Amino acid sequence: MRVTQLITAGLVGTFALIGSATAQNAFNDADKAVEYRQKALSVMQNNFSAMGDMVKGDVAWDSAVFTARAADFAAMSSIPWSGFETEGAKPGSNTDALPAIWENWSDFQERAEQLESDAQALLSAAQGGDEAAMKRSFMAAARNCKGCHDQYKD
């Protein structure tokens, strides 16, 4: 009985390690990694644009919609970055990512982490219901987005 428990525990541990190693590199090839990051960033951009339209006054302010978009933006904010780490997923004909990303990798990672932080702050402001705080948090995230795009996107 004790031997069976030890074998079972060993197998569970082995499969957990295999599963986590596989999950870290879930892309079949570089093109899939590029597609993954582009789609994730596209979803983020769609949510951010909806909030931006409200901030600019192009559409009527709706706190519930703003909060929903902020929640989706925050949920997505950690998603795209692994698509930049896959070998071969660097600039090419199918991406606007500039070589500067990989030349300045630590700066790019810091900006990604800051965006995640900005997205969480935006969500917190939205959940607080103060329109002015939402707009301030949106603008902070927008500055970070623009700075990264200016340096790292063609």
Task: Report the CATH number that the domain containing residue 58 is assigned in CATH.
Answer: 1.20.120.10
In a domain, 143, yes or no: yes
Binned at pLDDT 50, 70 and 90, residue 134 comes out as very high
How many structural domains are present in the chain?
1
Residue 15 pLDDT exceeds 50: no
Binding residues: 145, 148-149
Among candidate residues 67, 37, 71, the one with its CA nearest the CA of residue 131: 67
Among candidate residues 87, 98, 77, the one with its CA nearest the CA of residue 33: 87
Binned at pLDDT 50, 70 and 90, residue 106 comes out as very high
Residue 117 pLDDT exceeds 50: yes
Q: What is the mean pLDDT of residues 90-118?
A: 92
Helices and strands in the chain, H and E counts: 6, 0
Q: Which residues contact 44 (CB under 8 A, 6 or more apart)?
A: 73, 76, 77, 79, 80
pTM, two decimals, is 0.80
In a domain, 42, yes or no: yes
In a domain, 8, yes or no: no
Q: What is the mean pLDDT of residues 103-130?
A: 97
Q: How far apart, in whole angstroms, are the C-alpha atoms of residue 79 and residue 67?
A: 19
In a domain, 13, yes or no: no
In a domain, 68, yes or no: yes
Binding residues for heme c: 145, 148-149
In a domain, 15, yes or no: no
Q: Which residues contact 140 (CB under 8 A, 6 or more apart)?
A: 118, 121, 122
Q: What is the mean pLDDT of residues 100-129?
A: 97
**Model pLDDT for residues 55-92, shown as the tens digit of each residue:** 999 999 999 999 999 999 999 999 999 999 887 888 76
